[in-house]
């Protein structure tokens, strides 16, 4: 059994961006994108005191929505650690709150039966050994220092030690999500990646590590899974000519880190459609929700997760454990599949009958998954230029966008 099997079955995870940047509420890049007086950003530590933080609540919402794992930002590019790091004082245990939020979060999600993953930023804007055109000094002043060889070595050691701390002090970790190697580092091994990976697998032999330690795909390393960003792929992902496990990350409301008055979340149909779309080409969806300074999900996000839970309750069997189907889907839908069942995800209620390509003579029964109602197979008529192997079906009038047809094959 491949060690990625749980991951490719899981199909749906929760991404959480939470850090010091949450307090100003202008996204996770705000340290780079705003002018700060020396020490001003760090002073946010005195204000970090999320009285509403209840990781069990997050875990319950995620679980009900059908998510099977969580990925949490242990450290973003600003360098601030949301765990009790052994390598820096710039960490959550030194804030007004004083508690190790990572330890609390892991305990809660594990207790709810979810797998746990750690996001860790490779860029670190606090370290003199790191320089990049996407760093604050460049974004704010178009300046870029060149670290000395010793500084850069010290940076690689710092990164290594941070990751080792995470791999050894927090129990079994299922996923490691490194983010990211900038395109300006193309062709370089800027992070001493093989040394890091050797250490990670030594401590956590079953862990799955993503692909962002390098900008190139075609290198002499195989990653456990691959992470396209904020898009549903049109086909299964292949690397070096072989199919790979992959996960697309996307946001519930357009932002990774908390944004004040972000308002609306994406429509439910975007979320269920995006999720089904990923699964239809053998991928996962990692959906980001950003807690606020109090440690709460916004009312809009909570409401949407609750709607997702209702959707998942009726339709979850079309997601978990499913993958690509062997048939092309009809207009306005996509297929997911498991064993001898095809799941047809309706992006909108059809205007009339649906024409299922290549399924004539192959279907045992069809029903609307949410209600169990039978979906009638109707005779071919002729004027709509049906192909010989098409199957024409009549979806009940009360079908809604996001509904799923359960097609049992003979
Ligand atoms: C983008 C954002 C970064 C975020 C990441 C998640 O690269 O710039 O802040 O953490 O996506 O994949």
pLDDT tens, residue by residue, 199-258: 999 999 999 999 999 988 778 889 999 999 989 999 999 999 999 999 999 999 999 999
Ligand 1 center to 120 CA (angstroms): 11
Ligand 1 center to 77 CA (angstroms): 9
Q: Average pLDDT of the chain? A: 96
Q: 229 CB less than 6 Å from ligand 1? A: yes
Residue 19 pLDDT: 98
Residue 400 pLDDT: 97
End-to-end CA distance of the chain: 28
Class of domain 5-318: alpha beta
Q: pLDDT digits over 248-267, tens only? A: 999 999 999 999 999 899 99
Do strands 12-16 and 238-239 pair parallel, antiparallel, or not at all (unpaired)? unpaired
- pTM higher than 0.85 for the full model? yes
Instruction: Please give the Cα distance from 17 to 253 (Å, whole number).
Output: 13
Q: 230 CB less than 6 Å from ligand 1? A: no
Residue with CA nearest ligand 1 atom 2: 256
> How many CA atoms lie within 13 Å of 202's alpha carbon, on the beta-carbon side?
9
Residue 380 pLDDT: 74
Q: 249 CB less than 6 Å from ligand 1? A: yes
Fold classified for 333-409: Immunoglobulin-like (2.60.40)
Residue 186 pLDDT: 84
**SS3 (DSSP) at 103:** helix
Residue 198 pLDDT: 98
Number of Cβ atoms within 10 Å of the Cβ of 37: 7
Q: 28 CB less than 6 Å from ligand 1? A: yes
Domain coordinates in residue numbering, the chain:
5-318, 333-409
Residue 382 pLDDT: 66
In degrees rounded to 5, what are phi and psi of residue 407? Answer: -110, 110
DSSP for 146-162 reads ---HHHHHHHHHHHHHH
Q: 222 CB less than 6 Å from ligand 1? A: no
Residues 171-197, mean pLDDT to the nearest whole number: 92
Q: 78 CB less than 6 Å from ligand 1? A: no
- Which position has the token pair 């939470």? 18
Residue 393 pLDDT: 96
């Amino acid at each position: 059994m491949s060690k990625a099997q749980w991951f490719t079955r899981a199909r749906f995870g929760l991404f959480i961006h939470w850090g010091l940047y949450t307090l100003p509420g202008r996204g996770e890049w705000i340290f780079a994108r705003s002018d700060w007086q020396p020490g001003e950003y760090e002073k946010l530590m005195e204000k970090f005191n999320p009285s509403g933080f209840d990781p069990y609540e997050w875990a319950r919402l995620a679980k009900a929505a059908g998510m099977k794992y969580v990925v949490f930002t242990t450290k973003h590019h600003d360098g601030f650690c949301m765990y009790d790091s052994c390598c820096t004082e710039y960490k959550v245990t030194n804030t007004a709150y004083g508690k190790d939020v990572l330890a609390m979060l892991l305990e809660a999600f594990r207790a709810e039966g979810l797998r746990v993953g750690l996001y860790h930023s490779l860029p670190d804007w606090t370290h003199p050994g790191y320089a990049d055109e996407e760093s604050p000094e460049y974004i704010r002043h178009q300046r870029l220092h060149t670290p000395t060889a010793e500084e850069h070595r010290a940076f690689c050691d710092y990164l290594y030690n941070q990751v080792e701390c995470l791999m050894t002090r927090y129990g079994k970790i299922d996923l490691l999500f490194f983010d990211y190697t900038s395109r300006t580092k193309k062709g370089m091994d800027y992070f001493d990646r093989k040394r890091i990976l050797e250490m990670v697998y030594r401590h956590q032999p079953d862990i799955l590590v993503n692909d962002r330690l390098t900008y190139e795909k075609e290198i002499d390393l195989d990653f456990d899974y691959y992470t396209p960003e904020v898009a549903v792929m049109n086909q299964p992902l292949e690397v070096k000519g072989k199919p790979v496990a992959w996960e697309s990350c996307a946001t519930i409301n357009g932002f990774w880190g908390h944004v004040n008055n972000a308002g609306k979340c994406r429509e439910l149909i975007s979320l269920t459609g995006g999720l089904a779309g990923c699964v239809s080409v053998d991928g996962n969806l990692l959906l980001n929700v950003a807690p606020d300074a109090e440690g709460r999900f916004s009312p809009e996000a909570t409401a949407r997760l609750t709607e997702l839970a209702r959707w998942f309750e009726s339709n979850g069997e079309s997601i978990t454990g499913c993958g690509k189907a062997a048939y092309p889907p009809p207009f306005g839908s996509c297929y997911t599949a498991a064993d001898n069942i095809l799941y047809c995800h309706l992006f909108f209620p059809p205007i009339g009958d649906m024409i299922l390509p290549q399924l004539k003579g192959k279907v045992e029964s069809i029903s609307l998954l949410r209600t169990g109602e039978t979906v009638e197979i109707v005779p071919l008529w002729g004027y709509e230029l049906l192909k010989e192997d098409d199957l024409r079906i009549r979806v009940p009038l009360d079908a809604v966008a996001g509904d799923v047809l359960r097609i049992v094959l003979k």
